[in-house]
Structure 1
Amino acid sequence: MLLSLTDVEVAYGAVTALRGLSLEVDEGEIVTLLGANGAGKTTTLRTISGLLRPRAGELRLDGRPLSTIPAHDLVALGVSHVPEGRRVFPSMSVRENLLMGAYRDRRHTREDLDRVFALFPRLSERIGQAGGTLSGGEQQMLAIGRALMSRPRLVLLDEPSMGLAPMVVQTIFEVIAEINHDGVAVLLVEQNAASALRIAGRGYVLETGEVVLSGTSASLLSDDRVRQAYLGEDLTPTP
């Protein structure tokens, strides 16, 4: 098992955000986290990437405990985090933003830049442009590209389609599938539950910091609770 969380509890002061959370991500699979705003999805990703510390429970990567490892050292272990809102460096160029993703190891920079530009040709066209002047979709491409520059084994993606035009969303999901096809595991938080479940192998549904449902994507897509709450289907019986 690549990543495992067991009975993880996280709090913001007196407010408990995650309660006994357990989940797993295996090598080379896509797993999605579903849930309403405030369910604990972003907190889960931030805890895995070391930005938050658990109050209880265990996080392990390849069986190695993660709870005491600094966030910047997790990159060297193969974990990359693409946060909600992109968080690109606005005054730095596209190229400089991408190079920040490779700050720990510059041995394969040219090869990795070529890979990112193959996935996102638009970034190659804007290589000298400041990150803050890019469109929202281009900034999302840049954020994902920056994460890939560290050659991760696991990418944490937080709401990659938020606020983007449908055509751009399609591109982003195609790239996620391609990244995964290359052997990178993905833990995906996504408001577009239908799209997330179509590319993921498994999923977990969170409510108020707890897993209330889990299973294969096919089983979740056919579950009435998921269909009504996250896929927008009206299952009210017709009189």
Structure 2
Amino acid sequence: MSTTTELQKDAGTAGTSEETLLELKSMRVFYGAIEAIKGIDLTVRKGEIVALLGGNGAGKTTTLRTVSGMLQPRHGEVLLRGERIDGIKSHELVRFGIGHVPEGRRVFSTMTVRENLEMGAYRFSSVDMAEMDRVFTLFPRLAERRSQQAGTLSGGEQQMLAIGRALMGKPELLLLDEPSMGLAPLIVQQIFEIIEEINKQGTTVLLVEQNATQALGLANRGYVLETGEVAMSGPATDLLADNRIRAAYLGEGAA
């Protein structure tokens, strides 16, 4: 069993507050008899970007799917603004201010870019055109392709569309699962710049990402999962400098 190592208490970062937005308490999640998440504790403060790192099978995607209501914890609690949300169905959690961009993008391939974005606003009685304009400002490529079927977009454009679709629901907390997966380095850089801008505009982000350098370079704090447990946590700068992280994720030998 891994022991949680808190590198140091984060003194706070510009643009964030001490208000806790999301909190996981002793959360345990099972697939049948298999325990995928083994009692983790995790906190995301309002205004932060928090990175969730770990190898394949560590439990990162399971964590996001549980926060967004796609899975239910068998034990523990999921709290949003201090209120328990575990047990609430995923389509209802959108109304609580949670947006989820799943791994693999999953756009509606036969629908146009504009129609995909409109689907993201289903929690409202009508589409907020100002919000759509905001998405098109963040993603000019989508504006150029608004009448194009989503299935004909490049991988990077589909990732932009998946993020834009989530933003149409006006989330306070945005869950991003592997946004850089399968994308060219230049596109990855663009995606991370957009995530940073989304955060600056007031959206809190919980980011699952294999690219530790990119993720920790963007995040305020990070957690490292190993086989369903929190192995390390702390300010992103400290995690990035830690020899164990560098050896595990950056291909460098520990000193």
User: What band does the TM-score fall into relative to the shorter chain?
Assistant: over 0.9
Structure 2 residue 34 is the aligned partner of structure 1 residue 6: no
Residue of structure 1 in register with 2:11 after alignment: none
Among 147, 150, 167, the alignment partner of 2:169 is 150
Question: How much does 1:235 deviate?
Answer: 3.1
Q: Residues 62-89 of structure 1: CA distance to partner in whole angstroms, max 9, x if unpaired?
A: 0110112111111111000000000000
Map of 2:9 onto structure 1: none
Q: Which residue of 2 aligns with 1:181?
A: 200
> Tell me, which stretches of 5 or more residues in structure 1 are unaligned?
none
Q: Tell me the equivalent position of 2:242.
A: 223
What amino acid is aligned across from residue 197 of structure 2 in structure 1?
E
What one-letter code is carried by the residue in structure 2 that aligns with 1:101?
G
Does residue 195 (structure 1) correspond to residue 220 (structure 2)? The answer is no
> Which position in structure 2 is the counterpart of 1:43?
62
Q: Tell me, in whole angstroms, the C-alpha distance in 2 between the residues paired with 1:31 and 1:130.
A: 33
1:168 equivalent to 2:187? Answer yes
* Contact in 1 for aligned 2:68/2:100 (Cα 8 Å): yes
Please list, as runs of the form range in 1=range in 2, the aligned pairs for 1:45-84 lying within 5 A after superposition: 45-84=64-103
TM-score, structure 1 length as denominator? 0.97
Q: Does 1:29 align with 2:36?
A: no
Tell me the CA shift for residue 8 of structure 1.
0.3
CA distance in 1, matches of 2:240, 2:185: 21
Q: By how many angstroms is 1:209 displaced?
A: 0.2
Task: Report the Cα distance in structure 2 between the residues aligned to 1:168 and 1:146, rounded to whole angstroms.
Answer: 18
Task: Give, in whole Å, the separation in 1 of the partners of 2:105 and 2:111.
Answer: 14
Query: Following the alignment from structure 2 to structure 1, what is the Cα–Cα distance between the partners of residues 231 and 125?
Result: 43
How many corresponding residue pairs?
Answer: 236
Q: Provide the rounded CA distance (Å) in 1 between the counterparts of 2:49 and 2:252.
A: 24
CA shift, 1:234, in A, is 2.4
Give the Cα–Cα distance (whole angstroms) in 1 for the partners of residues 251 and 97 of structure 2.
36
Aligned to 2:92, the other structure's residue is in SS state helix
Runs of 4+ more than 4 Å apart: none
The residue identity in structure 1 corresponding to 2:190 is: T
CA offsets 1:172-218 (integer angstroms, 9 cap, x no match): 00000000001110000011100000010000000000001000011
Name the Cα RMSD after superposition.
Answer: 0.9
List runs of 5+ in structure 2 lacking aligned partners.
1-19
Question: Residues 167 and 155 of structure 1: is their aligned pair in 2 closer, same or farther, counting only changes over 3 Å?
Answer: same
Separation in 2, partners of 1:106, 1:174: 31
TM-score scaled by structure 2? 0.91
For residues 69 and 137 of structure 1, the distance between their equivalents in structure 2, rounded to whole angstroms, comes to: 32
CA deviations on 1:96-153 (whole Å, 9 max, x unpaired) are: 0000000111545210110000000000111111111110000000000000001110
Tell me how far apart the structure 2 counterparts of residues 201 and 133 of structure 1 sit (CA, whole Å): 35
- Alignment partners' CA distance in 1, 2:48 and 2:250: 22
What percentage of residue pairs aligned between the two structures are identical?
63
Tell me how far apart the structure 1 counterparts of residues 46 and 246 of structure 2 sit (CA, whole Å): 28
